[in-house]
Chains A and B, each alone.
Chain A
Amino acid sequence: MTLAYIDYLILAIYFSFVLGIGWVLKRGVSTSEDFLTSGRSVPLWITSLAFVATNLGAQELIGMCASGAKYGIMTAHFYWVGAIPAMLFVGLFMMPFYYGSKARSVPEYLKLRFDEKTRGFNAITFAIMTVFSSGISMYALGLLFQLVLGWNFTASVILSAAIVLVYTYLGGLTSAIYNEVLQFFLIVFGFAPLAILAVNKSGGWQGIVNRVPATMVHSWKYMGNAADNPMGVDTIGMLIGLGFVLSFGYWCTNFLVVQRAMAADSMAAARKTPLVGAFPKMMLPFIVIIPGIAAVALSVTAGSGYSLPLKPGGGPDYDQVLTTLMAKFYPSGLLGFGLTGLMASFMSGMAGNVTAFNTVFTYDIYQSYIRKDAPDSHYLKVGRLTTIFGTLLSIGAAYLATLYNNIMDLLQLVFGFVNAPLLATFLLGMFWKRTTGHGAFAGLLSGTAAATLTHGLTIAEGKGGWISPIHEYRSTMAQNFWIASYAFFACLLVTVVVSLATRPKAESELTALVYGLTKIPHDPTPPWYQRPWPLAIAVSIVCFGLNFLFR
């Protein structure tokens, strides 16, 4: 793929807007809370788009298109079964505690609800994970640009990291959130034309249905038996593993996304952030997954001029489907715009990691364990320095990934083990006042152990089974779903048992933290269609409709 001057001009204009937004927002930052939590002042339409955009990094864009080409419309389960119910749940049931507790971060909520060790465990693992995942995505992007455009790996990594650093250093979380929204618009305008052109070229949806295998155009029909569908998962494993444990775990407890809702300007706006965000989220498969399926249809059509990109060793290289489609369908100009969208999604994904790392490091690690009672200006300074420090660590992690690829795979695996049980801890903590700090901590450790054990005892596509394989899954995806499920149930069980054996906190200490001891606000002012429940019902109806349409 070659870029024209005009494409570089578009990229340059985007960079100047991003930096300009950071520069203007700098004036609004005078306290550490302005910098790290946006001073709880961001309007609803911005937080809800940022809530969706922060998860829409370049890796997701490329990965979803790749997965569309590999598995077909079943990939949409990640949206219509995974994300949407979880987003409704966090908005309706969990946000009152996150926002109402006045906690500044998810780990801080754990400290208020449970105890110091539970917070410490969560804060430290989260901080390490965000740095590494931002490094890993930086590595992926550097490789992609090297492969597709011939750009120098170091140059593209350093340039994009430097821009992210400047705008987050200047404007903090607000700047990251604003740029996420701009990025969201860029992705819609940059990739919707690709979906339209590619589907058109394939003869519309009906043309695709006629050409690709039937398993690729039905999301539910072949789910009865894991052997029948390309993902190798069955309905139960998918519903429990993806639909419940993994997606609820991600959307309801991951500070990266929850932080966006916590920056909203009121409790009502915080609750509605995921609910309003669910509308654009539901429509994303049409932009990110459908082009992948169309690519397969085109590649099996004789004389279409498109064939799936191949790996050097043979076999299709699905990760390059998106960029090869762009090269085939976009003229100079729109091509530059599309690539700018890709770059933007990568940068804002990284900015999301950096800002979440900042808040957790400054409040949950530095202020809790290193220096407790300093004036606020000190923490603002620490927050700013952490931005630099976090970016440098991410760059380091990216280079570590180039040197030791398998260490990174191992790390991601371990992160998965640590994350898997978290949902059980939060559900019990928020909805059962008897849950104790010792229970939560013991539950987290045993959930992580259960995940590790499941991985050691089962095997899929040659992965896992390092203790002794007693069961084989059809795909690593099915294996992941079950690892998460076992971790969840182990954590649930151990937390309950240990909680019953230990002394609970006094009820007076749990106000605003636990269901039943918290007054859920009923705001009667907005018209009925703007209230949380009607919004959630509208989302559910559309979501059911989409599942039905592509069944």
Chain B
Amino acid sequence: MLDLRLPSGWFFLIMGVILTVLGMFSGYSAPLTAANANLYSGISMLIFGGVLLWLARRAS
């Protein structure tokens, strides 16, 4: 059966790339905060996706 860590890992990796790039290169305006929420979320998603893919690889 499909190892769920693979699709989840890829999904978060792609999301992480999108949000990190957005955070680095575009404005990140939100009315109430000055924090670069896209960048921080993007990086944590990259790490999470990477860990899932690494675990899936180790298991196979």
Chain A residues in the interface with B (C-beta under 8 A): 6, 9-10, 13-14, 17, 20-21, 24-25, 28, 41, 46, 174, 178, 181-182, 185, 189, 193, 197, 200-201, 304-306, 327-335, 337
**Which interface class (under 10, 10 to 19, 20 to 34, 35 or more) fits B?**
20 to 34
- Give CA–CA (A178, B5) in the complex, Å: 10
- Mark interface residues in B6-36 (1 if CB within 8 Å of A CB, else 0): 0110111011001100110001111111010
Q: How far apart are B58's CB and chain A's nearest CB, in angstroms?
A: 14
Q: How far apart are B21's CB and chain A's nearest CB, in angstroms?
A: 9
List 7 A–B pairs whose Cβ atoms lie within 8 Å, in order of A's numbering.
Answer: A13-B15, A28-B2, A182-B8, A185-B12, A331-B28, A335-B30, A337-B19
Known pairs A174-B1, A334-B37; A329 contacts B8 (CB<8 A): no
Known pairs A10-B15, A24-B2; A185 contacts B38 (CB<8 A): no
Closest A residue by C-beta to B3: A43
**B53 interfacial by beta-carbon distance below 8 Å:** no
A201 x B33 contact (CB < 8 A): yes
- Chain B positions within 8 Å of A201 at CB level: 32-33
- Give CA–CA (A287, B45) in the complex, Å: 17
A178 x B2 contact (CB < 8 A): yes
Q: For chain B residues 30-59, which have a beta carbon within 8 Å of chain A?
A: 30-33, 35, 37-38, 40-41, 44-45, 48
Partner of B18, one of A24, A25, A333: A333
Count, A-B residue pairs, CB within 8 A: 91
Question: Assuming A46-B4, A329-B31, A329-B32, what are 14 further A-B pairs, CB within 8 angstroms?
Answer: A41-B1, A185-B8, A185-B12, A185-B48, A193-B37, A201-B33, A328-B31, A328-B32, A330-B37, A331-B30, A331-B37, A332-B22, A334-B38, A337-B41
- Chain A positions within 8 Å of B22 at CB level: 6, 331-333
B15 x A305 contact (CB < 8 A): no
A189 x B48 contact (CB < 8 A): yes
B12 x A193 contact (CB < 8 A): no
- Give CA–CA (A25, B4) in the complex, Å: 10
Q: How far apart are A331's CB and chain B's nearest CB, in angstroms?
A: 4
- Chain A positions within 8 Å of B29 at CB level: 331
- Give CA–CA (A337, B18) in the complex, Å: 11
B2 x A25 contact (CB < 8 A): yes
Interface of B is mostly: helix
A178 x B30 contact (CB < 8 A): no
- Chain A positions within 8 Å of B35 at CB level: 197, 200
A329 x B37 contact (CB < 8 A): yes
- Chain A positions within 8 Å of B14 at CB level: 13
- Chain A positions within 8 Å of B15 at CB level: 10, 13, 189, 337
- Give CA–CA (A200, B35) in the complex, Å: 10
Chain B residues in the interface with A (C-beta under 8 A): 1-2, 4, 7-8, 10-12, 14-15, 18-19, 22-23, 27-33, 35, 37-38, 40-41, 44-45, 48
- Give CA–CA (A333, B33) in the complex, Å: 15
- Chain B positions within 8 Å of A334 at CB level: 19, 37-38, 41
Known pairs A189-B45, A333-B38, A337-B15; A328 contacts B30 (CB<8 A): yes
- Give CA–CA (A331, B40) in the complex, Å: 12
Partner of B4, one of A6, A178, A305: A178
Known pairs A189-B48, A331-B28, A332-B22; A21 contacts B2 (CB<8 A): yes
B4 x A181 contact (CB < 8 A): yes
Q: How far apart are A44's CB and chain B's nearest CB, in angstroms?
A: 12
Q: How far apart are B59's CB and chain A's nearest CB, in angstroms?
A: 10
- Chain B positions within 8 Å of A9 at CB level: 18
Closest B residue by C-beta to A189: B45
- Give CA–CA (A404, B30) in the complex, Å: 39
Partner of B31, one of A193, A200, A305, A332: A305
- Chain A positions within 8 Å of B41 at CB level: 189, 193, 334, 337
- Chain A positions within 8 Å of B30 at CB level: 328-331, 335
- Chain B positions within 8 Å of A25 at CB level: 1-2
Q: How far apart are A237's CB and chain B's nearest CB, in angstroms?
A: 38
- Chain A positions within 8 Å of B18 at CB level: 6, 9-10, 333
Q: How far apart are B51's CB and chain A's nearest CB, in angstroms?
A: 12
Closest A residue by C-beta to B35: A197
Closest A residue by C-beta to B21: A333
- Give CA–CA (A41, B4) in the complex, Å: 13
A13 x B37 contact (CB < 8 A): no
- Give CA–CA (A306, B33) in the complex, Å: 11
Closest B residue by C-beta to A34: B1
Closest B residue by C-beta to A335: B30
Known pairs A197-B33, A328-B30, A331-B28; A20 contacts B19 (CB<8 A): no
- Give CA–CA (A335, B30) in the complex, Å: 10
Q: Which of B4, B27, B38 has the most CB of A within 10 A?
A: B4
Closest A residue by C-beta to B38: A333
Q: How far apart are B52's CB and chain A's nearest CB, in angstroms?
A: 9
A333 x B23 contact (CB < 8 A): yes
Partner of A17, one of B7, B19, B23: B7
Q: How far apart are B34's CB and chain A's nearest CB, in angstroms?
A: 10
Q: How far apart are A222's CB and chain B's nearest CB, in angstroms?
A: 30
- Give CA–CA (A275, B19) in the complex, Å: 34
- Give CA–CA (A113, B55) in the complex, Å: 42
Q: How far apart are B38's CB and chain A's nearest CB, in angstroms?
A: 5
B8 x A333 contact (CB < 8 A): no
- Chain B positions within 8 Å of A328 at CB level: 30-32
- Give CA–CA (A306, B31) in the complex, Å: 9
